[in-house]
Structure formats: C-alpha cells, structure tokens
Amino acid sequence: CKQKIMCGIVGFTNFSQDSFNNIEVLEAMNNSIEHRGPDEAGIYSQDEIFLGHRRLSIVDLSSGKQPMKSSDGNLTIVFNGEIYNYKELQEELKKDGFKFETDSDTEVILNLYRKYHLDFVKHLNGMFAFAIWDKNDENLIMARDRMGEKPLFYQINKHDVIFASELKALVKHPAANKQISKEGL
C-alpha cells in the first residue's frame, strides 16, 4: 500500500527556555515528515516560537511557500490542507480592502484572521490543520477541520506546546512525553 503524500506541519514554543538547540529540534521534527511534502521545506523561528512546514505543491505553485507571513509581518502560519471556498473568501476580502501577494488559500486564512480574529475559523470550508503565531497578541492559534480529516497532534508541557501532523514528528522533541496514556487508550 503506497502512503498518500500531503503537506505536514510541526512546531513548538519554548517559553520555558529548556536547554536544547531549538533549530536542530525543529529541523529533526520537520525532516521526520519529509514524505508528507517532498517539494519544499520551510522553518520559522523567532524568540520562543518555532514553526516548520513540508510542502506538496498543489495550489499557487510559485508563491505559496510556508511558513508564510502576513503583509504586515505580524502573523506567521504553517498550514496543511485545502480551503475549498478560498476564492470566494479572497474576493470578499479584496472588497474590504485586503491586498494579496499570492493566490494561495494560506494567505486567505491569514487575512481572515486579521478581519475576524478568532471567529475566522467559522468562515473556512475545507480540510485543514494549521498554526498561526500572532506576534502582536503573543498567541499561538491552532485549529483543525471539524471532521478531523487533517491530523494535528499536540502536547502541552509546563508552559509550552509541541505539535505536529504525525506522532513520529512530535516525539522528536526532547520535552515530548512519550508515555502512553492508559486512560486515553
């Protein structure tokens, strides 16, 4: 059985200031899901925020690279999935004065967040998992589609969050709890 190829995301916060090389950990996590996105890899790090993305190029082949920043530089997203109604949403946002540098559903998500803040998810029709770092509010927003078609595994440790599209990427993080929860099982 051939494994289906798709994009993947990874990331973590390090507000606890744990002593390990954050970039090496991020790259190890991202490389562990290379099969999900053989076309490109990208990472973002700033202060205590570390985001990674593996890309299978489907939409906006030339300019949909991730992690993607908003035009004002305050938001950064890693996104796995497809927003089915992104063209309609993009037209609505353009009418409201939003500018677009790409024809990517990823940029539509960023601008929806800028317009609706946390209510933006209500407007998305599709299959998705993503994380947005809002530098101004110092918030990490993560969401997954309502049916859970796109995976998003996460752990909260101390003051930090670790997340990934696959468990094998999540456990590459040195602070990840690798114990099976008997209650959860």
Taking alpha carbons only, the member of 185, 184, 159, 157 closest to residue 173 is 157
Please list the alpha-helical segments (H only) found in 16-132. 22-31, 86-95, 105-116
**Strand order from edge to edge, sheet including 126-134:** 68-69, 75-83, 126-134, 139-144
Given the residues 7, 33, 112, 152, the one annotated as active site:
7
Q: Is 1 one of the annotated active-site residues of the chain? A: no
DSSP state of 2: P
Instruction: Give Rg (Cα) of the chain.
Output: 16
The structure tokens 């101390």 sit at: 158
DSSP state of 170: H
- The catalytic residues are 7
